[in-house]
Amino acid sequence: MQLSESHRRYWRRNLRITIVLILIWLAVTFLPIYYAQALNRITFLGWPLAFYMGAQGSLIIYVLIIGYYAWTMNRLDREHGVQED
């Protein structure tokens, strides 16, 4: 089967989106853990910041990452004519 230029561009854009989102996931997960002791000296609405990230902040960003990915990929599918319906 032959892939068109549009197909290749679709896959490259998908890879770029995936890599950026993975980097965001890595950053919001592991940076607050690594610097937890320093971050905990900052208070955010009553929570020490590292505790807040582990208990709530990072989780909210996870939901946003997945929601953004679903939304943007479904749009990308249509732009490149690879959508299912």
Chain contacts with other proteins (rule: CB under 8 A)? 1, 3, 7, 10-11, 14-15, 18, 21-22, 25, 29-30, 33-34, 36-37, 40, 43-48, 50-52, 54-56, 58-60, 62-63, 65-67, 69-70, 73-74, 77, 82-85
Residue 52's contacts (CB-CB under 8 Å, 6 or more residues apart) are 44, 45
Least distance from other proteins to the Cβ atom of residue 75, Å: 10
Q: Look-up: residue for tokens 């490259």? A: 12
Least distance from other proteins to the Cβ atom of residue 5, Å: 14
User: Cβ distance 12 to 80 under 8 Å?
Assistant: no
Q: Look-up: residue for tokens 């943007």? A: 72
Least distance from other proteins to the Cβ atom of residue 71, Å: 9
Residue with Cβ nearer other proteins (5 or 56):
56
SS3 71: helix
SS3 44: strand
